[in-house]
Structure 1
Amino acid sequence: MPIAGRARLSPRVSLLLLASILVSFLAASAAPTPLYGTYQERWHFSPVTTTVVFAVYALAVLASLLTFGKLSDHVGRRPVLAVAIVVQMLSLVVFIFANGVPTLLVARLLQGLAAGAATGAVGAGMLDIDRARGTLANSIAPGIGTGSGALLSALLIDFLPAPTRLVYVVLFVVLLIQLVGIALMPETVTPMAGARRSLRPEIKLPRAVREPLLVVVPVLFAVWALAGFFGALGPALVRSLMNTSIVVGGLVLFVFALFGSIAVLLMRNSAARTVILIGIVALVLGMIVTLVSVMAESVPGFFVGLALGGVGFGGGFQGSLKTITPLVEAHERASVLSLLYIVCYVGFGLPTVIAGFLVVYAGGLPQTADEYSVAVILLALVALFGVRRATRTT
């Protein structure tokens, strides 16, 4: 509801604010990644624990998306985003005072709940303001947030004091500013009845998106499975290939996200099918280069594969959104986007936990990286078959 006597943000500023919130949430989710090695040394836990901590976030996001994903269609975008930001800030406080694995799990749980509630609302809010720019922002913000969060965390760890606290303090301040922005942002939808009913987990798809969704699901799963692997185990893999600083480990997610964002920008005006096909091809090439590089213990080759994988992530994710969002009515946007992100986070979390167990119990990190690369290549080929089949049917 409008606040009397207060200036309201313009649509352009509101769009930038919403995009920045998505960036902040993804940055907060990536910030612990360079710190897992430090936590592991302090609290003596295994790579399995690292991937479990990582996956708790994905599971919490899934639960939150299923419960709160449609809520902003009923009560408005602003209330949902305000509560989500407050919960995200609370998770950062828990990280600041973390003293063991249980507190890490609590912090990641809170992060996931906040991210799940915010994802559908912020994505739908951007589409409410400008469908074309909103689709672009939805595609590019995850990469920018993930990359900047990991690199910022690594730089602060290496060059400034309080390595396990400072990055969370910085993110807390950013979120506090964004919370003020939400108070000044005009509501983008008219609230409607059914808010309590919307909290019941329900997979409900508009008829217009059912067949296209079957085409993009394998693409989304494959590209987010790749993101999950590099997020959870990429820094450790680089350190196993060469004794290097935490900053180089943080560069793993940054390079992946940077090339994903560049791909999104360069292909923003291309047809959805073209973007998806380019993404799948880049993903397969990236995984082949990564596979060969790990076997040859080549760090430069690994980063080349990482960059190609980033292009694959950007193309696959953007192409999927461009396929689905034009088919969705305004009052369905939050629920459909939430469903897409459910697919993303299943791909993000489940294979990563499996990889963590394989690292400990079935051959170690390099062998697991090889097996994971092969699995992602197979997933990408399944996605390619689906896209080609859908094209022939059309």
Structure 2
Amino acid sequence: MTAHTSETRPVVRDRRARFGFAAVAYAFGVVMLGNTLPTPLYSIYQQRYGFGSLLTTVIYAVYAVGVIAALLLLGKASDVYGRRRLLLAGLAASVASGVLFLTDAGLPALFLGRVLSGVSAGIFTTTATVALLDLAPARLQRRAALVATAVNMLGLGCGPLLAGLLARYTAAPLAWPFVANLALLVPAVLGVLRMPEPVRLVPGARFRPQRPVVAAEARSVFVPAAVAVFAAFAVFGLLTAVEPGFLATVLGMPDRALAGLVVFTMFAGSAAGQVGLARVPTRVALPAGSLVLVLGLAGIAVGLVGRLFVPMLVGTVVIGVGQALSFRSGIAAITAAAPEPTRAGTVASFFVVAYVGISIPVIAVGVAATAYGLRTAGIAFTAVVAFVALAACVAVLRLDRR
């Protein structure tokens, strides 16, 4: 992006700004809800199209392709084109994704729908967050970032919950979740159309895609923080993609409403951790997040080994808290270490690592599940990721000691 292309107006403390804040928060939540709707439905798609765990994980993981592309290509585009335009583009991608899933047109529709869902998430992750900061009322100004995080995580959690309930209690389990999501998107579009534009646009300004870099001053902090967040997002990706499969095939609990509820608890744990533990200092939160993640992984492993529901449920919630600590503290650490000219690129690189963590390890689990079974693959995954999280914890403690 060229220098001095736009500027943010002073936050207007009026009714329109408050309406815009609420509209963006609602749209953010609904878009993220749409991203996780397919989670409890993958088993139905498997039966309908005749594929197994490997292709399930690939369909899930292509979502990260859309997210990373949007983050790198459009991460700062709203500074040039305005928040409203970018949010509308994200909503359009979310609507297109829902329509594709509704067509029931086979694997190509599933793949393209997931990619478009990722594009919508990538746009909203950056643009909606800064729009909330721009439009926050005075009483929420200092907590706007936490509001954005909570809306993000709760939206992601409500997707499996809504889809699981509709799949369980309606006659068209592959249609009603996306019909409901499209209905929820209508007021989101109307609200964003009416929101005030907080960016003063400069005629003739040009935008260049964000290039990921890692500032030299931040590398010593970036590496352990990135490893920790890679582990946290890998577990998030695994449980979002295949935890309903764990419940159905390993524990003998195929209820899709229950599957949606269990995945919801992970995102709820993350939202609660982000908000409730916001005052934990970064130097404590970063290693603590890795240790909490290991405890959650232990719960998942015990649940898989013993075919027990309660340890798996508790482990799922604990993993959400560990992810919250790792992600928040990692962002804070690298933002503090990177100088202003390279800060945005360094944060973009951090997000890329996180979303690579969502995709590649999940596919590896799908390959292992094809060869050795889902239960064995899940147990091996928990052991490997626990080792990675512990390594990140040790690296952070050594860095802190220096």
Deviation digits for residues 317-374 of structure 1 (CA, Å, limit 9, x no counterpart): 222233345678999887665443222211111111111111002x111111111101
Structure-to-structure mapping, 1:168-187, within 5 angstroms: 168-187=178-197
Q: 1:238 aligns with which of 244, 247, 250?
A: 247
Deviation digits for residues 178-214 of structure 1 (CA, Å, limit 9, x no counterpart): 1222222222333358965513x52245677555433
Q: 2:84 aligns with which of 78, 82, 91?
A: 78
1:342 and 2:341 matched: no
Alpha-carbon deviation of 1:168? 1.1
Taking the aligned partners of 2:192 and 2:342, their CA distance within structure 1 comes to 22
Aligned to 2:73: 67
AA aligned to 1:45 is F
**Corresponding pairs, count:** 387
Alpha-carbon deviation of 1:304? 1.5
Deviation digits for residues 147-201 of structure 1 (CA, Å, limit 9, x no counterpart): 11101000011112321111112211222211222222222333358965513x5
AA aligned to 1:150 is P
Alpha-carbon deviation of 1:144? 0.7
User: Do the aligned partners of residues 75 and 336 (structure 1) sit closer, same or farther apart at CA in structure 2, a change above 3 Å counting?
Assistant: farther
- TM-score normalised over the length of structure 2: 0.87
Q: 1:268 aligns with which of 266, 274, 278?
A: 278
Aligned to 2:362: 352
User: Do the aligned partners of residues 115 and 329 (structure 1) sit closer, same or farther apart at CA in structure 2, a change above 3 Å counting?
Assistant: farther
User: Do the aligned partners of residues 35 and 345 (structure 1) sit closer, same or farther apart at CA in structure 2, a change above 3 Å counting?
Assistant: same
Aligned to 2:155: 145
Q: 1:286 aligns with which of 296, 315, 326?
A: 296
Aligned to 2:380: 371
Alpha-carbon deviation of 1:56? 1.1
Q: 1:389 aligns with which of 372, 395, 398?
A: 398
Contact 1:135 1:322 in 2 (8 A): no
Taking the aligned partners of 1:166 and 1:46, their CA distance within structure 2 comes to 24
1:104 and 2:110 matched: yes
Taking the aligned partners of 1:324 and 1:11, their CA distance within structure 2 comes to 31
Deviation digits for residues 259-305 of structure 1 (CA, Å, limit 9, x no counterpart): 22222221122222333333222111111122122111111111111
AA aligned to 2:53 is P
Alpha-carbon deviation of 1:37? 0.6
- TM-score normalised over the length of structure 1: 0.89
After superposing on structure 2, the runs of 4+ consecutive aligned residues of structure 1 that deviate more than 6 Å are 326-334
Partner of 1:198, secondary structure, is coil
Taking the aligned partners of 2:94 and 2:348, their CA distance within structure 1 comes to 18
Contact 1:139 1:314 in 2 (8 A): no
Contact 1:290 1:302 in 2 (8 A): yes
Partner of 1:70, secondary structure, is coil
AA aligned to 2:168 is D
Alpha-carbon deviation of 1:94? 0.8
Q: Which moved more, 1:14-23 or 1:56-65?
A: 14-23
Taking the aligned partners of 2:218 and 2:134, their CA distance within structure 1 comes to 18
Q: 1:54 aligns with which of 37, 60, 74?
A: 60
Partner of 1:247, secondary structure, is helix
RMSD (CA atoms): 2.7
Taking the aligned partners of 1:379 and 1:139, their CA distance within structure 2 comes to 25
Q: 2:236 aligns with which of 213, 227, 237?
A: 227
Contact 2:30 2:188 in 1 (8 A): no
Aligned to 1:24: 30
Deviation digits for residues 111-141 of structure 1 (CA, Å, limit 9, x no counterpart): 1222222322112223344564233134323
AA aligned to 1:257 is F
Taking the aligned partners of 1:225 and 1:193, their CA distance within structure 2 comes to 42
User: Do the aligned partners of residues 330 and 140 (structure 1) sit closer, same or farther apart at CA in structure 2, a change above 3 Å counting?
Assistant: farther
Partner of 2:35, secondary structure, is helix
Contact 1:259 1:307 in 2 (8 A): yes
Taking the aligned partners of 2:273 and 2:78, their CA distance within structure 1 comes to 30
Deviation digits for residues 45-93 of structure 1 (CA, Å, limit 9, x no counterpart): 1111111111111112112222112212222222111111112111111
Q: Which moved more, 1:187-196 or 1:379-388?
A: 187-196
Partner of 2:199, secondary structure, is coil
Taking the aligned partners of 1:333 and 1:21, their CA distance within structure 2 comes to 27
Percentage of pairs with the same residue: 28
Aligned to 2:39: 33
Aligned to 1:321: 331
Aligned to 2:226: 217
Partner of 1:190, secondary structure, is strand
Taking the aligned partners of 2:135 and 2:224, their CA distance within structure 1 comes to 27
Partner of 1:203, secondary structure, is coil
AA aligned to 2:118 is G
Taking the aligned partners of 1:329 and 1:15, their CA distance within structure 2 comes to 30
Alpha-carbon deviation of 1:215? 3.9
AA aligned to 2:223 is L
Partner of 2:201, secondary structure, is coil
AA aligned to 1:111 is S
AA aligned to 1:286 is G
Aligned to 2:9: none
